[in-house]
Amino acid sequence: MTQIATPALREWIVQQTAAGFSPEQVLSAMVAAGWEAGVAEVTLETTLRDYLRSRAPGADAAVAAPVAPLKASAQAAKSAAGTVPVPTMDLGQSPRMLDAGDRQVTVLSTLASPRVVVLGGLLSDEECDALIAAARPRMARSLTVETKTGGEELNESRTSSGMFFNRGESELIQRIEARIARLVNWPVENGEGMQVLYYGVGAEYKPHYDYFDPAEPGTPTILKRGGQRVGTLVMYLNEPERGGGTTFPDVGLEVAPQRGNAVFFSYDKPDPSTRTLHGGAPVIVGEKWVATKWLRQGVFE
C-alpha cells in the first residue's frame, strides 16, 4: 500500500515540532499510527527541512539539529511499532522462589501470552497495613488518564477511591520500590508513583489497557514523562470476602486478591494484540485495597 504525505500530515508534523515534541517522538507517533518507519522518516525529514528553509532560506545549518537524529529515530520507531524491552523476571529454570533483595517471593503461577506472573508474599502483613494506614487520609475518587488532552478525568468505568505516593517519599515506599525494581529487573526511576486504591461493595474497574493509546491526541504529552507504560504490578493489601479479582478477559484468567500477593504483567507494544486487557471485578462482600505500580520505558519525572 502506497502511503502519501498529505498537506494535513505535514502541517501536523510542523505543529507537533513547534509544540516542543522531539523528532523521535513525532516519528514514533507516526509509526504507531500505521506509517512504515522508513517512509515516516523521509516524510518527517523533508517536512522539517522544507519548513525551516521557508522560514530562513539557505539556513541549512539550522536544519541539521532537528534532522540529524532521525536515522536513530527510525530504528527506535520500528521498535515502538513492534516490540520494546520490558520489565521481566528470571523464570528460565521455572523457579519456585525469586530473590527480591530483602525478601524471597514465591512464584505461584505464570502465563506466557500475555506474560502474567502471580506472586506470593511480595509484601508482609505489616507492610500491607502500613500502606493502607498511610493512604487512608489521602483518598479521593479515582481518576483516569484523559488521553485526548493528556490530563485526568472522572470515569464511570472506575468506581474506586485512590491516591498516589510520590516515588521514594518514605522509607516504606523506598523499600517496596527497591524490591520491585530488583524483582522485575527495571530501574526504580522508571516507575510511576505507587497508587493505592480502595474498592467498597459494588466498586469495580471495568476492563481496560494500561498503555496509552497512540491514536489519541493527548498521548504525546503523556509520553514526555517517561515514555509508554510497559508493565503493571498490582499488589493486594487485604482480602475481600467475595469478588474483587483481577480479570484478564481475553484469556479467561482471574487472579484472586490475597493479602501480600501480587500479579505482574508486561506489554511490549501499545496494542490489543498484547492481550493485556484487564479489569478489577466488582467487590461482592467486604472491601478491597490494592497498590499498583506502573512501569515506563524511560525515567518517569
pLDDT of 167 higher than 70: yes
pLDDT digits (tens, 9 = 90+) for 191-209: 999 999 999 999 999 999 9
- Percentage, residues of the chain above pLDDT 70: 82
Q: What is the mean pLDDT of the chain?
A: 85
pLDDT digits (tens, 9 = 90+) for 82-117: 457 899 998 988 999 999 999 999 999 999 999 999
Query: In this structure, are 42 and 146 located in the same domain?
Result: no
Query: How far, in Å, are 54, 211, 214, 215, 300 from residue 23 at the CA level?
Result: 19, 21, 16, 17, 20
Q: Are 86 and 183 in contact (CB under 8 A)?
A: no
Query: In this structure, are 122 and 223 located in the same domain?
Result: yes
pLDDT of 287 higher than 90: yes
pLDDT digits (tens, 9 = 90+) for 236-285: 999 999 999 999 999 999 999 999 999 999 999 999 999 999 999 999 99
Mean pLDDT, to the nearest integer, of 57-76?
A: 44
pLDDT of 71 higher than 60: no
Query: In this structure, are 67 and 147 located in the same domain?
Result: no
**Is 2 contained in some domain?**
no
Q: Are 183 and 91 in contact (CB under 8 A)?
A: no
**Is 301 contained in some domain?**
no
**Euclidean distance between CA atoms 199 and 158, whole angstroms:** 10
**Is 89 contained in some domain?**
no
**Euclidean distance between CA atoms 237 and 257, whole angstroms:** 8
**Is 246 contained in some domain?**
yes
Query: In this structure, are 69 and 208 located in the same domain?
Result: no
Q: What's the confidence (pLDDT) of residue 164?
A: 96
Q: How far apart are the first and last CA of the chain?
A: 39
CB atoms within 10 A of CB 132: 16
Query: In this structure, are 253 and 290 located in the same domain?
Result: yes
Mean pLDDT, to the nearest integer, of 131-142?
A: 91
Query: In this structure, are 164 and 73 located in the same domain?
Result: no
pLDDT digits (tens, 9 = 90+) for 29-43: 777 666 777 777 778
Q: What's the confidence (pLDDT) of residue 81?
A: 44
Q: What's the confidence (pLDDT) of residue 297?
A: 94
Mean pLDDT, to the nearest integer, of 206-232?
A: 93
Query: In this structure, are 36 and 141 located in the same domain?
Result: no
Query: In this structure, are 238 and 118 located in the same domain?
Result: yes
**Is 154 contained in some domain?**
yes
CATH number assigned to the domain comprising residue 178 = 2.60.120.620
Higher-pLDDT residue of 41, 67: 41
Q: What's the confidence (pLDDT) of residue 151?
A: 54
pLDDT of 56 higher than 80: no
Classify each residue of 40-78 as buried b or exposed e, where b means 16 or more C-beta atoms within 10 Å of its C-beta: bbebbbebbbebbeeeeeeeeeebeebbeebeebbebbb
The domain total for the chain is 2
Mean pLDDT, to the nearest integer, of 115-120?
A: 97
Q: Which of 24, 57, 81 is the last residue of a domain?
A: 81
**Is 90 contained in some domain?**
no
Mean pLDDT, to the nearest integer, of 163-175?
A: 97
Q: Are 142 and 161 in contact (CB under 8 A)?
A: yes
175, HSE (Cβ side, Cα atoms, 13 Å): 13
Higher-pLDDT residue of 245, 214: 245
Q: What's the confidence (pLDDT) of residue 187?
A: 96
DSSP code for 216: S
Query: In this structure, are 112 and 40 located in the same domain?
Result: no
Query: In this structure, are 138 and 68 located in the same domain?
Result: no
pLDDT of 163 higher than 50: yes
Domain housing 115: 97-296
Query: In this structure, are 210 and 268 located in the same domain?
Result: yes
Q: What's the confidence (pLDDT) of residue 157?
A: 57
pLDDT of 76 higher than 80: no
Q: Which of 81, 105, 136 is the last residue of a domain?
A: 81
pLDDT of 70 higher than 50: no
pTM, two decimals, is 0.71
**Is 22 contained in some domain?**
yes
pLDDT of 80 higher than 50: no
Q: What's the confidence (pLDDT) of residue 4?
A: 72
Q: Which of 26, 52, 81 is the last residue of a domain?
A: 81
**Is 144 contained in some domain?**
yes
Mean pLDDT, to the nearest integer, of 215-239?
A: 94
- Percentage, residues of the chain above pLDDT 90: 61
- For β-strands 242-243 and 288-296, DSSP reports them as unpaired
Query: In this structure, are 161 and 75 located in the same domain?
Result: no
